[in-house]
Amino acid sequence: MCGIVGYCGPKKATGILLDGLKRLEYRGYDSAGIVVQKDGGLDGVKRTGKINDLRAIVPEAMTGNCGIGHTRWATHGGVTDLNAHPHFDSANRIAVVHNGIIENYTQLKAHLNAEGVVFRSETDSEVLPHLIAMYYEGDLEKAVRSALRRVKGTYGIAVIHADEPMRIVGARNGSPLVVGVGENEMLIASDVTAMIAHTKQVVYMEDGEIVSITPDGFTMTDIEDKKVNKQVDEITWDLGSIEKEGFACFMEKEIFEQPETIAQTLSGRIDAEYATGKLGGLNMSSRELLGVKRVKIVAAGTSWHAGLIGAHLIESIARIPANAEFSSELRYRNCVVESDTLYFAVTQSGETADTLYAMRELKRKGARVLGICNVVGSTIARESDGGAYTHAGPEIAVASTKAFTSQIAVFYTFALLMARMRDMSISSGFRYVKALQSVPEKVRETLTRRDEIQRIAKKYCHARDFLFLGRGLMYPVALEGALKLKEISYIHAEGYSAGEIKHGPIALINEETPSIFLVPADELREKVLSNMKEIKARNGPIIAFCTEGDEEVASIADEVVTIPRIDELFYPFLATVPLQLFAYFCALELGRDVDQPRNLAKSVTVE
C-alpha cells in the first residue's frame, strides 16, 4: 500500500521521482505527488489519478536535485487532491510523505489546532509536517526524532526542508523503507523496484531507525539517537524483471512465467539420491524437525489459500496435524503456543501487516516461526527464525499468481522432507520427487489451453455471480480461483467445498449463475461428479476443469478445459493456472485494469 521514493544527487530529481513512482504503481494507489527543493524553497504538485496524470501537470520549470514523491492509497480522508501527499507545514518549508497510520492523530491534531495550526487536509499524515515544524531549530533529523517520539502508529516517512538542501530524512516503524546507495547520489523508497534503475546497492531499515541521506552517503540512528551500523546488500535481479517484455500486462507475463518460477523455487531443494527435501534456511536440525508435533500456518488472502494446501499436504503425507488460519484473526486472539508446534508466516511481500504482527505475537509467546516470502530483505524474512524464499522474482501485478504457485512449491518440499523423516518409504519418495519435478513442464502444457479458456471467458464474463467448487486439495484452489475473479474482474464469486453445495449454496443456482468445478482424476472425483449432477438438475451452467480424456465429466458439463495427467497430489499446480487465465480473460473482456484493480494494494501494510 502506498509508495515512497526520494532522490538527492547530481541529476534532475523530477524525472527520477516520477519514474520511481511509476514502478511503484503495482502497490495500489489513488493519488500521487512530488516535491523538490528549488531556489531556497519547495516546489510541489499532487493530484488524484494515475502517475501519467500527475506527469502531465508537472511544469517544465520544476527542477531541482533533491525531492520526494508518493503514491497514496486512501485510509483517512477521501480521494482528493488536498488529501494527496506530500503534505506541508504552515510555512511550506517542510514536506513529508508518509505510509502507515498515525493512531493518535486526533489528539495530536487537537494540540496543533490549539497552537493555531490550520489543517488543509482530512488525513492523519498531515500532523507530521506540523509536528516536525514545532521542533525544528535548524536540524531536521533532530526535529523528526523529537516529533516521532510523540507519534503512535505505523510509519515509513521521507522528509525534506527548504533550509537544508540536498538532505532527506527518513524513518521507519512498521512500514518498509529502503535506502539506495549510488555513486554520488542516494535514494530512499518503500520498495527496491523504485530504485533498481539507479543502483543495486541497498540498505534495509528496521523499525525504530532514522536515516539522514545526502549525495555523499547516509547516517543511521535509532529513535534515541544512538548510531546504528548497517550492512549494504545487493539486489540480485535486474530491471528486465519488472518490465512487461512483450506481454499485454504484468499479470499475463507472470502467469506465463510460472513454469520457470516453480522450477526456480524447487531448484536445489530436492535431494534426488535420498528422495527428500532440502530446506537449509529453516535453521532447524533433523532432531528438532522430528520433534515437531503440530504445524500452524498464518497468512492472509492468497497466501492463506497456499497455507490451506500446505496444511493438507503436511497432514496427509507427513501425518502431522496441521491447519492454516487468518493472521488478522490470530493476532487478536489469546492463542496458545506449544513448544512442539512449528509456525509458518506466509506472505508474498514479507511486509503484510497482519501477518507480521501475528508473527511477532507468536514469537513473543516463545513460538518458533518460519517465514515463506518472496522478497529478500523484507521484514518477515529478517525477523523470522528461518524459512524459505520462494524465488519467484518481482511480482508486479496486484493479483498474485506466480507467488502463489511458488509458495505451494515450498510447502510440497517441506511436506516431503517431513514425510521422509516419518512414514514415507524411499520408493514412495522417489515417486513423489519424480512427479514434483515434472510440474513445471506440466504447467507449461496447461498454458497451451489459453485460447480455449479465453473463448469460455468471453462467453461467461457477463454473469453476475460464479460458484467455484472443489474437494480435498481442490477446495483451496477453488477459493483462490474465486478470489482471482473477484479481484480483477469485479464479478462476485464464491469458493466452496463441493460437498457443501447442498448445505445452503445450492439455493443460489439458476440458469444465470455458472458453477466452475475442479474435477481432476483423484480419489474424490466420483463425489464431485455427484455434485455436478445436482447442479445440472437445476439447470445451472457448468464449466469443468478436469483431467484430459475424462469423457464422463465432458458429458455433464457445458464447457470443459482439460489439464494434463499427474499424480493426484500435484493437481493444485495444474488446476490453479487455468483459473488464473479465466479470471484474466474475463477482466480483459470487461475492460478492467488488470494489473491495478480498484481499491486493492499489492503490499497491505495497514490493518
**Sheet of 515-519: strands edge to edge?**
492-497, 465-470, 515-519, 542-547, 559-563
CA distance 163 to 40: 7
Distance, in Å, from the CA atom of 122 to the CA atom of 269, rounded to the nearest integer, reads: 51
- Nearest-Å Rg of the Cα atoms of the chain is 25
Which contiguous run of DSSP H or E holds residue 405? helix 402-421
Candidates 143, 93, 91; CA nearest to 117 is 91
Specify whether the CB–CB gap between 369 and 384 falls below 8 A: yes
**Cross-strand pairs, 497:** 470
- Grid cell listed for 565: 495427467
**Does the bond joining 86 to the residue before it have cis omega, within 30 degrees of 0?**
yes
CA distance 75 to 320: 41
Dihedral sign, CA of 469, 470, 475, 479? negative
Q: Which residues of 522-535 are buried (b: 16+ CB within 10 A; e: fewer)?
A: bebbeebbebbeeb
Give the H/E segment covering residue 432: helix 426-446
Catalytic, out of 2, 249, 373, 546: 2
- DSSP lists the bridge partners of residue 88 as 95
Asked if 66 is an active-site residue, the reply is no
**Residues found in the chain:** 607
Question: How far is 200 from 193, CA to CA, in rounded Å?
Answer: 10
Catalytic site residue 373? no
Find the catalytic residue in 22, 46, 442, 602.
602
233: its cell numbers: 546488500
What's the rounded Cα separation, in Å, for the pair 217 and 26? 29
Backbone conformation region of residue 472, classed left if phi is above 0, alpha if psi is from -120 to 50, else beta: left
φ, ψ of residue 6 to 5 degrees: the values are -145, 150
Which residues are tagged catalytic? Answer: 2, 602
